[in-house]
Chains A and B, each alone.
Chain A
Amino acid sequence: MSQIENQEHSSEYAPVPIPHSEVRRSDVSPKQAKYQQRLISLLFGLSMLCAVIFVVAYVQIPIDETVSIPFLGTWSKMNTILGLSFGLGSFFIGAGVIQWAKQLMSHREMVQDRHPLRSPDDAREDAIAQFQQGAQESTFATQPILRRSLIGAMALFPIPLVMLLRDLGPLPGDKLFNTMWRPGMRVVMDVTSAPIRPSDIPIGGIVSAMPDGLPEVQEHDGNLNERAKSVVLLVRLNPDDIVSQQNPEGEASWDYEGVLCFSKICPHVGCPIALYEQRTHHLLCPCHQSTFDLADSGRVVFGPAARDLPQLPITVDKDGYIIARNGFAEPVGPSFWERA
């Protein structure tokens, strides 16, 4: 390798090299320089090889084949090889270039002056004077009527922009206050829509349920909005274990022979609640661990939820199937401003 003599170019803008005591091995030893040259070109060569592997893997490996990687589990073979070849192909280029810069490019520290960011005083004054000249010529200051009416116009100008957003959605109205639950509506199994008899649920059991006809409502609305608020859970407790329920004083209790029906939507921020502990009759929300005691009016016993889990009053119809005695007495799901 021929040692290129560095010809110093200097100008008022060029940085000045500072005398450097650090000498690289590759600066003094041609053997070392040669070694670095080989190493770096090897890295670039490996990168080329990676590109070839990528193409071969893309064409050859069936997309559904898997490999087993220690600690990482079974995993798509194609993804593994494409990722490693593409990734390493890139990595080798980067490593090679950095190594080149560190070992073979002229690696002298240099120094350059900083210049104050602040403009010189005369420049500032000149700028201000020019601005003032412009301002004066604009007559903005001497035309108060024009100025004020322009400000007025500019203030009203964005109104259309805001107005245009109006049709993003309907007004809330009373939507958040109501669900599709009506008196006499059957409480049916989630998924199968099968009606449920109290005896279908063993003591200590819990089932996910929904109002009869929810799939049709969903179909009709073309969305999952109703599902997001009207799904419920049926639990059956030993009637002696029930401490309290949400029925107002004087009204018959809202269970049916120990079967209780609660909203499945967490009153915190709306996750569906899923984890039931039979022994304590506690229901735990997996999102932020609010815990509700189903034997005690769905009371919050732990966590960030502020309100009890709403209870749905139930009874059975003439065929013995569980039905709602009424809709929810309060809005279900997260709290909102309009809620009293």
Chain B
Amino acid sequence: MSNAIGNFASGLDDRLTIASWSRRNIRKVFPEHWSFMFGEMALYAFITVLLSGIYLTLFFKPSMTEVLYDGSYVPLKGVHMSEAYASTLDISFDVRGGLLLRQIHHWAALLFVAAMSVHLVRVFVTGAFRKPREINWMIGLGLLMMGFLAGFSGYSLPDDLLSGTGLRIAEGIMLSIPVIGTYLSFFLFDGEFPGDEFISRLYGIHILLIPGVILALITAHLLIVWYQKHTQYPGKGKTNDNVVGYPVMPIYAAKAGGFFFVVFGVIVAIAGVITINPIWGYGPYMPDQITAGSQPDWYMGWLEGALRIMPNWETVAWGHTISWNVFIPAAVLMGIVFTLLGAYPWLERWATPGDQTKDHNLLDRPRNAPTRTALATGSLTFYFLMLIAGGNDIIASQLDMSINAITWVVRIGIFVIPPFVFWITRRICLSLQRKDRDLLLHGVETGTMMRLPHGEFEEVHAPLSEEAKAVILSKETIEPIPYPEKTDANGVKTPHYHLKKMQAAVSHWLYRDAVPLPSAAELEAAEHHILESAEKGAPVMHQMRQLEAEGGVMHDPSAAEADRAAGVTVPHLDAEFDQKAEDEKGQQAD
């Protein structure tokens, strides 16, 4: 190590003990898989949002004071508008690169929430939320919620017609909250909607409060990942007690660092060519104006959909009004969804035998947890139906359908389609498990038939690769918790009988029907059998390969002789390949 760096590091160690920390972490191993990239992507999108946001603060004026627009966007010259809107126009048309930064900020925000959402689904279907990682699951949910708020508060800032409409809806939703709604709204808006304070209040929340919370949560999230070590997918040599992958320095650091530049680059390039939120086209916010087909950012779409398909129930009693039609889809639904998400790891743990103490560092293959996977697909179906409902006017006009019809399809659909998808997914998972079992027992079908001496045809089976075998054998066969007896043999009542019955019921719901792995004896017998088949089939396989190489024509050996005599050469890939390898070896030796 060069002297200057060495001295610096030594000085740091004198003061901060960094060597002891570094020796344990510089070569820390991280497992690798494409599905692990979504969390990283969310992180990089967030960094992009932070950097571009700081730039925007240099020019944006969070004020609802009315001004006369005098910038270079001609169609709005001389129009009265808020300073917020005017300054956003200035960023877009009078600051070089300002439009780009606005677009980067917005695209990165969209990607931030999208990557978090996919990351959440990945974590769910692979069971990465299980002990000891429940805390990170909760932090992740907090981050997702903060992402919604950050995005919504952001696109409400420019005070254009679309953002104002979004705020109006938000205020209507606040008013629907029983008892405190009106007060909440009056305090936030300094009186009635829209007031003249809201943008500047939202600004502080958007650029300081929410990013601060997100930053703190992300820091905790990453520290915990680092400390607990990443989960890994099953495979050869991978156990619950080791980590197989690449060391942070150099591979993981290089790949992760490189990936930041890729994510950032893609966001910026997209921001260069694809318009997002062209606020100049909407005009300044006026509470009595609206554009048809107004849509929120995608992550708000499902709530918008819920708001649209909710039946118009309202209760008036004892001089008060409760707007179920607004309160349920806009507030209660979100509460239920996040409560269920937050409760799930604890519920699964409670209903899994022996799961109180065990750490789970090997991920589940989704097929091996059929009920959990089916819950994911069922919930996603529910979510997408809501999204569809959120775009019902656009779908109606594009497909020339009636909004009425779409609304009814979704209203009924959310009760019918997700359970159906749940059921189908479970089916698929179980049949994949059966397929895995067959692979273990019979090996891989090669598709090659051989004729046995007594004339019967049989397919040649090849043994599974070690890797494939390890992956399949990673499955844990879990016996559901048995139903309790009401009284024991001596007639003594089982304590907490009903709770235990519920626990057993949930456990059966999660783990019934699992296809058990073959026993050790069965496996051994199968292995023997497969090897035998492969051995017997080897000459046939060899011939087949030759055949493929020669264009699938079965040659009589004498015909081949004749060919050679006539100077016809038959391409032989194996030989070609061997030759290439020889060449390269030769060059290497030079």
Contact = CB atoms under 8 A, between A and B. Distances in A.
Asked if A and B are interacting partners, one says yes
B469 to A, nearest CB: 16
A64 B178 CA distance: 50
B258 A101 contact: yes
A29 B322 contact: no
Contacts of B99: 76, 78-79
A304 B321 CA distance: 15
Given A111-B29, A339-B320, 15 more contacts: A15-B27, A30-B587, A87-B266, A94-B261, A107-B251, A112-B29, A114-B361, A169-B190, A275-B292, A286-B291, A286-B292, A306-B314, A334-B171, A335-B314, A340-B316
Contacts of A176: 182, 192
Contacts of A272: 287-290
Contact of B288 (A30, A86, A208, A304): A208
Contacts of B346: none
Contacts of B181: 336-337
B84 to A, nearest CB: 13
Q: Which of A224, A307, A338 has the most CB of B within 10 A?
A: A224
A148 interface: no
Contact of B194 (A84, A86, A225): A225
Contacts of B240: 114
A224 B81 CA distance: 11
Contacts of A93: 258, 261, 265
B315 to A, nearest CB: 9
Nearest to B260: A94
B383 interface: no
Interface of B: 23-24, 27-29, 64, 72, 93-94, 96-97, 99-100, 103-104, 132, 165, 168-169, 171-173, 175-183, 185-196, 228-229, 237, 240-247, 250-251, 254-255, 257-275, 286-294, 304, 307-314, 316, 319-323, 325-326, 329, 359, 361, 392-393, 403-404, 407, 584-585, 587-588
Given A83-B103, A337-B182, A63 B187 contact: no
12 contacts: A28-B588, A79-B97, A83-B270, A87-B266, A114-B242, A170-B191, A269-B171, A286-B290, A302-B407, A306-B323, A334-B171, A339-B320
A16 to B, nearest CB: 9
Contact of B312 (A73, A86, A106, A306): A306
Contact of A268 (B172, B241, B264, B585): B172
A83 B273 CA distance: 7
A223 interface: yes
Nearest to B357: A118
Contacts of B304: 288
A335 B294 CA distance: 22
Contact of B262 (A95, A117, A228): A95
Contacts, number: 328
Nearest to A63: B96
A195 interface: no
B265 A83 contact: no
A337 B322 contact: yes
A176 B193 CA distance: 10
Given A110-B29, A170-B191, A340-B319, A98 B254 contact: yes
A85 to B, nearest CB: 8
A166 to B, nearest CB: 8
A122 to B, nearest CB: 18
Contacts of B319: 340
A171 B93 contact: no
A111 B96 CA distance: 50
B312 A300 contact: yes
A58 interface: yes
A101 B30 CA distance: 14
A95 B258 contact: yes
Interface residues of A, number: 99
B323 A335 contact: yes
B272 A289 contact: no
B245 A113 contact: no
Across the A-B interface, give the 6 residue pairs with the lowest CB-CB distance, nearest first.
A83-B272, A269-B172, A87-B269, A91-B265, A94-B261, A87-B268
Contacts of A305: 312, 325
A109 interface: yes
Contacts of A306: 312-314, 323, 325
A269 to B, nearest CB: 3
Given A94-B262, A95-B258, A337-B320, A64 B314 contact: no
Interface in A130-165: 165
B192 A175 contact: yes
Nearest to B254: A101
Contact of B314 (A170, A210, A288, A307): A307
Given A101-B258, A286-B292, A288-B307, A117 B132 contact: yes
Contacts of A201: none
Nearest to B248: A15
A70 to B, nearest CB: 11
Q: Which of A287, A333, A338 has the most CB of B within 10 A?
A: A287
Interface string A254-291: 00000000001000111111110000000000111110
A97 B93 CA distance: 36
A286 B294 contact: yes
A98 to B, nearest CB: 4
A168 interface: yes
Nearest to B316: A340
A298 interface: no
A286 B177 CA distance: 23
Q: Which of B29, B192, B291, B587 has the most CB of A within 10 A?
A: B192
A81 B354 CA distance: 59
Contacts of B27: 13-15, 110
Contacts of B313: 306
Given A172-B182, A304-B312, A336-B321, A64 B93 contact: yes
Contacts of B97: 58, 78-79, 82
Nearest to A92: B265
A205 interface: no
Interface in A10-65: 11, 13-15, 18, 28-31, 58, 63-64
Contact of A286 (B96, B132, B393): B393
B93 A18 contact: no
A340 to B, nearest CB: 5
Contacts of B259: 94, 98
Contacts of A223: 64, 194-196
A217 to B, nearest CB: 13
A109 B244 contact: yes
A297 to B, nearest CB: 15
Contacts of B195: 169, 223, 225
Interface string A180-193: 00000000001000
Nearest to A222: B196
Given A105-B250, A304-B311, A337-B178, A96 B258 contact: yes
Contacts of B322: 337
A116 interface: yes
B589 to A, nearest CB: 10
Contacts of B247: 15, 110
B274 A72 contact: yes
A339 B322 CA distance: 9
A58 B96 contact: yes
Given A95-B258, A175-B191, A337 B290 contact: no
A90 B264 contact: yes
B165 A91 contact: no
A111 B262 contact: no
Contacts of B287: 224, 227-228, 231, 272
A141 to B, nearest CB: 30
A271 B168 contact: yes
A69 interface: yes
A89 interface: yes
A238 interface: no
A78 B271 CA distance: 12
Nearest to A300: B312
A46 B307 CA distance: 49
Contact of B272 (A81, A172, A210): A81
